[in-house]
Amino acid sequence: MAKVVKVQTEFEGRFYEETIVVEGTEVEPWAPEQPLKLVGRPVPRVDGPEKVTGRARFTHDVRLPGMLHGKILRSPHPHARIKRLDTSKAERLPGVRLVLSHQNAPEIPWFRGQTRLFDTTVRYVGDEVACVVADDEETAEEALRLIEVEYEPLPFVVDPERALEPDAPRVHESQPNNLVNGEPEVYERGDVQQGFAEADVVVEGVFRTQTALHNCLETHGSVAHWDGDSLTIWDSTQHVFGVRFQLARALGLPLHKVRVIKRHMGGGFGSKNQAGKYAAIAALAARMTGRPVKIVLDRFEENLATGNRPATIQTLKLGAKRDGTLTAIFHKSILNAGAYAVWAPSASGPTKRLYACPNVRTEDWAVFTNLGPFSAFRAPGYVEGTFALESMMDELAKALGLDPLELRLKNYAEIDPITNKPYTTKGLRQAYERGAQLIGWAERAHTKRARSKGPKRVGFGLASQIWGGSGGPPAYALVKLNPDGTATVVTGTQDIGTGTRTALAQIAAEALSFPLDAVEVELGDTQWGVYAPLSAGSMTLATVGPAVRAAAEDAKKQLLDVAAQLLELPKEGLRVEDGHIATPKGERLPVAEVLRPLGNFQIVGKGARGPNPDDKNVNTFGAQFAQVEVDVETGEVRVEKIVAVHESGRVVNPLTIRSQLYGGVIMGLGYALLERRLDDPRRGLPVTPTLETYKVLTVADVPEIVAEMVDLPDPEANPIGAKGVGEPPIIPTAAAIANAVADALGVRVYELPLSPDRVLAALRGAQAKKDEEEGEEGEAS
């Protein structure tokens, strides 16, 4: 029975109070020791052949008869008012079918009313001004150059600290300040001042992280087509049902009149969690022209207007007893949210809950500036916050003369410090132990002495990871059994490149006792798919997987009911085995043979995701270890080895999980060493908006990566025992590398990326400080 309940949901590392519909299907969880035939096996991706042969259809591949192409005119100013807009020359260009702007488009609110689809005030370089729709992209681009716009430049601010000053220009004129929520988000437990008073050692530092860009291989884009009063959108999205909801509301349509399709996607990493303006513009243009319209962004636009991992400035202060017991933590984060935001990541998330500490205060200051708006980016807030917190933990270990791993184990949290609830599973201790073994932690002093020669210094570092990944309701699935002994799984989730199709096929085949090649998974379409939430927050498998299993169990139960009647045998003695009905007499009859008398029909099993446990926390954990070599003459950092050991419940597919671990680590490496969007503070203009100027890792930059899972099935989390793994592997990578660099140099670099100039600056600063201290000692003597 469906119930409306209020629950506390953890998503993207934050807690939310939600009212949801829960219609969980009662399914006995797979026991941790239960032998499974398909779940837990390294199955190659079921859609692999489609991708390597080019048959996989991405949004960029959609081509419809009579399709037009749209190109968007974007603001060259960080803050300006549009005084005059003349599109007449563009409209007269042969091949141009429509020019959309605030002059002829409906006033559709965007970012919850902070702006409109086409606004007369632009707030960052890249803000949408107009859109040309033409027969081809080349004509549309030529027409953009014919649009005449007169702007009134307005004061702007790009530095978040400057934006906090009382006299700073307002990004949104109607707001009293530039804070996203009007005030900082503050969390506190215990008495921080008292905690620092009780500390024997106090360390503090200021850390800075850069703006990083998603650079999805497939850029953002949509194709819109109307059939009467019904709209179909092909969208590169992480949430087909979310895009449907947003577009229906924006265009004033009933939900059943909007269909969203996403077969395959070339990366999203959080930037495609919601509908983009381009989707609404394409839909409007298609309705006004009566023809399909395609708008896909180029790389320049992608890096201006589709989001980023925002830059942060973080102040950390830790206090501890001589034995390493934490007594107090203070963490203040200032985050550059850009021009628009409806939520903000919490860089202090790990600080609140990673370690057992009685006295903690955190402040998250999310600040509007006249730069491109941020968006979710693979573990938003936690990557930045873990870099600062874990760096500070190593500084504390150094001040106390303790092994950094020993300090972390000393403050190991057996229960969640925020909720005071126990965890369903926590494999962090096992991750520490295995990771230390694989990196050679106990022998690192010997390795450093043997390997550090000339200007090269070798160092080791580690960092811890905590994240959500619990998933939760609502999510639904259908499993259709066909009379030929095959099955089709139907759900409204989406595979964003993580192997969701494969994992769901394994779960369904396991529950049905069917061969894997007899199971097809259909997803990514709101028209016939049943509801599933967005693919983000490491929640897809833990959310949709239990619904698929429940639907498969329901379908199998119905199959046995039917088989018992057709075979005139007691149901209790029948079993399904590898696509056959096994009888008490030892017979194994193919399902297709048993069902043949029924002709053309279908059994439909239904499943829904049940609620998470109320009395326990469901979280994921992990630890990473890094070995680096640093050249003290050039400042170059070379990562030699990364060991990543994570716990995310049951391992459904070791092959796809290993791919996730590698991908997360590689993305974390790029964040630690290379990636950085540079902005011109005088013009408010990003100066590295292409892959020619924005550096990402190449294959040659990737070191040895050893990735393992602590396979710890979690039957209390959900009936399949799995938790999310998409985001955990990126969280501790930069922190582990930074700690290894500090170990190699004996000097901390407080800013990412760890570029050669920053390494050399840290060394010069340390030398200058040493010279100054020696000079003072000499004067005193």
Compute the 3-state secondary structure of the chain and give helix, strand, coil in percent, each to the nearest 5. Answer: 30, 25, 40
Token representation of residue 514: 């069917």
Asked if residue 496 lies in contact with residue 536, where contact means CB atoms within 8 angstroms, the answer is no
CA diameter of the chain: 104
By CB atoms closer than 10 A (0-12, 13-18, 19+), residue 701 is middle
Phi/psi of residue 129, nearest 5 degrees = -115, -45
Asked if residue 330 lies in contact with residue 361, where contact means CB atoms within 8 angstroms, the answer is yes
Handedness of CA 372, 374, 377, 379 (dihedral sign): positive
Other C-beta atoms within 10 Å of 420: how many?
Answer: 9
- Please identify which residue in the block is written with the tokens 């010069």: 764
List the beta bridge partners of residue 332. 315, 363
Asked if residue 135 lies in contact with residue 95, where contact means CB atoms within 8 angstroms, the answer is yes
- Please identify which residue in the block is written with the tokens 């939600």: 18
Helix (H) / strand (E) containing 242:
helix 240-251
| 527, HSE (Cβ side, Cα atoms, 13 Å) | 12
DSSP 200: S
C-alpha R_g of the chain: 28
Catalytic residue, chosen from 128, 218, 510, 727, is 727
Asked if residue 525 lies in contact with residue 261, where contact means CB atoms within 8 angstroms, the answer is yes
3-state SS class at 495: coil
By CB atoms closer than 10 A (0-12, 13-18, 19+), residue 761 is middle
Let me know if 727 is a catalytic residue: yes
Which residue type does 58 have?
F
Return the active site residues.
727
